[in-house]
């Protein structure tokens, strides 16, 4: 079974896909060696690692170069957070997705947030985009490439459930293989969304949404760390940097330092 089929089948198992998110090559290597079966990228973490804020502040070429290196050293499937596609031009977005697929990646997240203002893309326009991405992928031999349609209603609206369901159904009908709703955390709303769509539901880790077993019982098929792991790493560095400076002693660095990472 190739990586495309393998990754797609991971969304149709009795146990949900617990998906960590890498932000550079080293974090990807560590996550693979820890035993995870697939990894995603986090646009927030990737941007931070390159010295930028999130929101397509980096260039697509920067993301492409990073993913190319990840694919060269990682054996497990990788799915890429491509934000809104790094362009407002639908042709450029579909071309960008194909370029990512050509690297050997198994899937993408594509979101419906606009980058030029705080708003969602019109539903019909997003459906058209998803359909064209799907068609271009299939035409180029990537039938099993996983399109995870991200819906940002819970990040932008006060009462988002009905619109989320409406968008989810239409996105799936347009060719999306999965639905990703960051910010969704209430069990009853998760269950309702699971029942309403004919596609795997992906939710993201939050301070009040952490238990894989609980989410599995609700019918969630994919649980992403998002930026939580990269944020925790940054916090660790910040805290210890201050301690090093104040104590003027490096002893603390060796208290629990064990590096088992091997490189290719």
Instruction: Please choose, from the candidates 115, 103, 11, the residue with its C-alpha nearest in 3D space to the C-alpha of residue 57.
Output: 115
Q: What is the DSSP string of 83-95?
A: TT-S-SSHHHHHH
152-170 pLDDT, tens digit per residue, is: 999 999 999 999 999 999 9
- Neighbour-count burial for 22-47, b at 16+ CB within 10 Å, e otherwise: bbbbebbbbbbeeebebbbbbbbbbb
197-243 pLDDT, tens digit per residue, is: 999 999 999 999 999 999 999 999 999 999 999 999 999 999 999 99
How far is 192 from 69, CA to CA, in rounded Å? 39
Residue 94 confidence (pLDDT)? 98
Residue 255 confidence (pLDDT)? 79
11-60 pLDDT, tens digit per residue, is: 999 999 999 999 999 999 999 999 999 999 999 999 999 999 999 999 99
Q: How confident is the model at residue 263 (pLDDT cuts 50, 70, 90)?
A: low
* Dihedral angle sign, alpha carbons of residues 159, 42, 187, 165: positive
63-120 pLDDT, tens digit per residue, is: 999 999 999 999 999 999 999 999 999 999 999 999 999 999 999 999 999 988 899 9
Contact by Cβ (8 Å): 187, 218? yes
Q: What residue ranges define each of the domains in the chain, with the CATH number in brackets?
A: 3-227 (3.20.20.60)
Residue 254 vs residue 170, higher pLDDT: 170
pTM of the model: 0.95
Please report, rounded to a whole number, the percentage of residues in the chain having pLDDT higher than 90.
93
User: What is the DSSP secondary structure assignment for residue 209, as one 8-state letter?
Assistant: B
Residue 257 confidence (pLDDT)? 72
């Amino acid at each position: 079974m190739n990586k495309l089929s393998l990754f797609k089948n991971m969304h149709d198992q009795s146990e949900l896909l617990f998906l960590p998110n890498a932000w550079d090559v080293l974090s990807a290597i560590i996550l693979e060696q820890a035993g995870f079966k697939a990894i995603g990228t986090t646009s927030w973490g990737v941007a931070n690692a390159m010295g930028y804020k999130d929101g397509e502040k980096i260039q697509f070429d920067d993301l492409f170069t990073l993913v190319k290196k990840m694919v060269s050293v990682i054996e497990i499937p990788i799915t890429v957070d491509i934000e809104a596609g790094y362009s407002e031009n639908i042709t450029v977005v579909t071309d960008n997705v194909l370029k990512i697929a050509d690297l050997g990646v198994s899937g993408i997240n594509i979101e419906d947030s606009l980058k030029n203002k705080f708003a969602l893309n019109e539903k019909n326009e997003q459906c058209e985009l998803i359909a064209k991405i799907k068609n271009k992928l299939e035409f180029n031999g990537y039938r099993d490439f996983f399109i995870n349609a991200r819906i940002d209603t819970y990040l932008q609206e006060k009462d988002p459930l009905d619109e989320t369901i409406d968008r989810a159904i239409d996105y799936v009908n347009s060719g999306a293989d999965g639905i990703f709703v960051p910010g969704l955390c209430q069990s009853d709303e998760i269950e309702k969304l699971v029942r309403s769509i004919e596609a795997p539901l992906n939710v993201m880790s939050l301070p009040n949404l952490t238990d894989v077993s609980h989410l599995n019982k609700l019918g969630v098929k994919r649980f992403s760390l998002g930026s939580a792991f990269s944020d925790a790493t940054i916090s660790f560095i910040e805290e210890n940097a201050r301690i090093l400076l104040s104590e003027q002693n490096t002893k603390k660095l060796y208290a629990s330092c064990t590096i088992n990472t091997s490189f290719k």
